Structure 1
Amino acid sequence: MTMMNKNRFTPRTLHLTPNHVARATRPVEDFAYPSAFTRATDEDYATLVEQLMAERPEGPLHIFAYGSLIWKPTFEPVTKRRAVARGWHRQFCMLIRGHRGTPEAPGLMMALMSGGRCVGLALEVAAGTERQVLEDLCRRELPFVETLADHRWLQLDTVEGPIRGLVFWAGPTGPNIRRSFPLPLAAAQMARACGPRGSTAEYLHNTVRSLEEHGIRDRNLWTLQRLVAEEINTMPLGQVQRVEPSAASQPPVMPVN
């Protein structure tokens, strides 16, 4: 695999450390809750993959990774290239009551929202594996019928020239989206959110650490990880206890990236 060239600087030391992550993490059993969402079927995914294959640009297929696809991809890319999505920025804006949160202590997950610029990685998919990679990604990122449309093709700027790449969760809408959420309030919520798949603090730590390792610096996320660490520091050891889910909870949006 050809690796991207990184900026020549030493990664900074995060304020949000593995120790903070451990303090924010607690065992939460998986739980079922009433959901207004409908699980996507094999037929749904087959239809979506064919649609994406028909829409894809000529040449290699690229996936734009800006979050967990950087540190937990579903496939081995042929190349990783630094890429810029202009007109978009990372934001923890999706309220989740499952996955990395509970109904009583919802978490926040990340998406791309309009405005600014987002530096990430363009992951090139190996020729001949496009359909399988797309199916795996769609099953991971888009679990419900109601979320199948939460993808789009973006123009990405790279040192080799512009390309088009597929991205998930860019410009999501709905009642679970918090468009204007001050970072201190987001940090207070994220410091306490933990669900069956782990804590929101863990997701933030992994994302910022991976961005630093790839020479990518996101100002808002850097500030957010500092605020989350400071928030965890204010909580006495053992203060955050396991939260039992409520049967009357609202349905969550459950993105992964």
Structure 2
Amino acid sequence: MTADLVLPDPDTLLRAVEEPVARARPVLPKDRDWWVFGYGSLMWNPGFPHHEGRSALLRGYHRRFCVFSLRYRGTPERPGLVLGLAPGGACRGMAFRVPASEGEEVLDYLWEREMITGVYRPRWLRVDTPQGPAHALSFVADPGHGQYCRLNAENTAALIRQGVGLRGPCRDYLINTERHLRDMGIRDRMLSRLIDLLEEPNPDKR
């Protein structure tokens, strides 16, 4: 870890797991297909049925490692990081069209996957796709939540380097996301910079 990285104590992070923030479930369009915007692992591992996936641009938010991962890619004692949507800029990702007939089941799945602690605020946001605009369910990180963090690139890389959780190393999460974007013809400079930092010698092991 770099010297200026100060983490919350594990008990504080554990409370984020044990005392989740309750969020209202979004109301789904009645008898119509609907969209989900993926900007991290949902792009390369959506895990839910969908009729199609399109490249999509969300304006007003950018992709950022701003959420302590305490389950999937880390633990309260050794947190990792996962992506959230933070205010400002724009974010390129994927929009998935969910069939109306399976809408509630897909929402149940997404709620279990993304909303365990309530660190995200689910919002319907406009995304632009090559076939036209759509309003997609998007998971925006809540800056007031105990899992939210603001870290520089070096400290972000340090937590990605250490994080391992139920779904494996945080490093894999970063690499898979960056690779999928590259396959789509998208270069995310922030993700590329973090991968470069991971390839440098670990300062904790010098």
Q: How would you bin the TM-score normalised by the shorter chain?
A: 0.7 to 0.9
Name which of 188, 208, 213 aligns with 2:178: 208
Please say which of residues 99-108 and 62-71 is displaced more in the overlay: 99-108
Go from structure 1 to structure 2 and tell me whether the alpha carbon gap of 1:52 and 1:106 turns closer, same or farther (over 3 Å shift).
same
Matched letter for residue 52 of structure 1 = V
How much is the aligned-residue C-alpha RMSD, in angstroms? 2.8
Alignment correspondent of 1:218: 188
Alignment correspondent of 2:78: 105
Matched letter for residue 225 of structure 1 = I
CA deviations 1:203-239 (Å, max 9, x no partner) are 111111111122222111111121122245x676xx9
8 Å CA contact 1:87, 1:116 repeated in 2: yes
| Counterparts of 1:110 and 1:165, CA distance in 2 | 18
Segments of 5+ residues of structure 1 without an aligned counterpart are 1-32, 240-257
Higher relative contact order (CA 8 A, sep 6+): 1
Aligned to 2:74, the other structure's residue is in SS state coil
| Counterparts of 1:187 and 1:34, CA distance in 2 | 22
1:1-257 mapped onto 2 (5 Å cutoff): 35=15, 37-38=18-19, 48=25, 51-53=26-28, 56=29, 59-144=32-117, 147=118, 150-179=121-150, 181-232=151-202
| Counterparts of 1:80 and 1:190, CA distance in 2 | 28
CA deviations 1:55-74 (Å, max 9, x no partner) are x4885301001110111112
Segments of 5+ residues of structure 2 without an aligned counterpart are 1-12
TM-score by length of 2: 0.81
Aligned to 2:100, the other structure's residue is in SS state coil
Aligned to 1:129, the other structure's residue is in SS state helix
Matched letter for residue 106 of structure 1 = P
Comparing both structures, which one devotes a greater share of its residues to strand? Answer: 2
Matched letter for residue 156 of structure 1 = V
Go from structure 1 to structure 2 and tell me whether the alpha carbon gap of 1:116 and 1:162 turns closer, same or farther (over 3 Å shift).
same
Aligned to 1:150, the other structure's residue is in SS state strand
